[in-house]
Amino acid sequence: MQHFPIFLSLRDARVVLSGGGDAALAKLRLLLKTEARIEVFAPDPAREITDWAAAGRLTLTRRALSAGDVAGASLFYAATEDAAEDDRTAAIARAEGALVNVVDNLEDSAFITPAIVDRDPVTVAIGTEGAAPVLARAIKADLEERLPVTLGPLARIGKAFRKAAEVLPFGRARRDFWRDYYFDAGPRAVSDGEQSVEDTLEDLLAQHAARESRPGHVAFVGAGPGDPELLTLKARKALDEADVIVHDGLVGPAILELARREATMIHVGKRGFARSTPQDEINAAIVEHAATGAQVVRLKGGDPTVFARLDEETEACDDAGISWHVVPGITAASAAAAAIGQSLTRRNRNSALRVLTGHDVRGFADHDWRDLAKPGQVATIYMGKKAARFIQGRLMMFGADPATPVSLVANASLPDQHVVASSLAALDRDLAGIDSSGPALILYGLRPHAAQAISYSLKEEGVL
Active site residues: 248, 270
32-45 burial code (b ≥16 CB/10 A, e <16): eebebbbbbbbeeb
In the bound state with ligand SAH, the residue whose beta carbon lies nearer, of 15 and 424, is 424
Name the H helices within 96-242: 133-146, 151-160, 172-180, 186-189, 194-210, 233-241
Q: How far apart are CA 407 and CA 422, in angstroms?
A: 6
Q: How far apart are CA 226 and CA 332, in angstroms?
A: 9
Q: In angstroms, what is the minimal distance from the CB of 233 to ligand SAH? A: 18
Task: Point out which residues bind ligand SAH (CB under 6 A).
Answer: 225-226, 250, 300-303, 306-308, 331-332, 335-336, 382-383, 409-414, 439-441
Q: In angstroms, what is the minimal distance from the CB of 4 to ligand SAH? A: 33
Q: Mind giving me the DSSP string for 264-292?
A: EEEE----TTS----HHHHHHHHHHHHHT
In the bound state with ligand SAH, the residue whose beta carbon lies nearer, of 23 and 332, is 332
In the bound state with ligand SAH, the residue whose beta carbon lies nearer, of 79 and 410, is 410
In the bound state with ligand SAH, the residue whose beta carbon lies nearer, of 78 and 408, is 408
Cα separations (Å) of 289 from 246, 300, 412?
10, 17, 32
Q: How far apart are CA 402 and CA 278, in angstroms?
A: 39
Q: How far apart are CA 53 and CA 55, in angstroms?
A: 5
Q: In angstroms, what is the minimal distance from the CB of 182 to ligand SAH? A: 35
Q: How far apart are CA 305 and CA 284, in angstroms?
A: 20
Q: In angstroms, what is the minimal distance from the CB of 294 to ligand SAH? A: 23
- Among 1, 37, 35, 43, CA closest to 18: 43
Check residue 84 and give left, alpha or beta (phi > 0: left; psi -120 to 50: alpha).
Answer: alpha
Q: How far apart are CA 310 and CA 318, in angstroms?
A: 12
Q: How far apart are CA 407 and CA 443, in angstroms?
A: 5
Let me know if 182 is exposed, middle or buried by CB neighbors in 10 A (0-12, 13-18, 19+).
middle
Q: How far apart are CA 414 and CA 219, in angstroms?
A: 25
Q: How far apart are CA 278 and CA 284, in angstroms?
A: 10
In the bound state with ligand SAH, the residue whose beta carbon lies nearer, of 64 and 414, is 414
Edge-to-edge strand list for the sheet holding 99-102: 59-61, 37-41, 14-18, 75-78, 99-102
Q: In angstroms, what is the minimal distance from the CB of 329 to ligand SAH? A: 7
Torsion of CA 131, 132, 137, 138, to 10 degrees: -130
Q: In angstroms, what is the minimal distance from the CB of 396 to ligand SAH? A: 21
Q: In angstroms, what is the minimal distance from the CB of 149 to ligand SAH? A: 42
Output the residue with the shortest Cβ distance to ligand SAH: 302
In the bound state with ligand SAH, the residue whose beta carbon lies nearer, of 60 and 254, is 254
In the bound state with ligand SAH, the residue whose beta carbon lies nearer, of 24 and 408, is 408
Q: In angstroms, what is the minimal distance from the CB of 253 to ligand SAH? A: 14
Q: How far apart are CA 239 and CA 360, in angstroms?
A: 30
In the bound state with ligand SAH, the residue whose beta carbon lies nearer, of 317 and 409, is 409
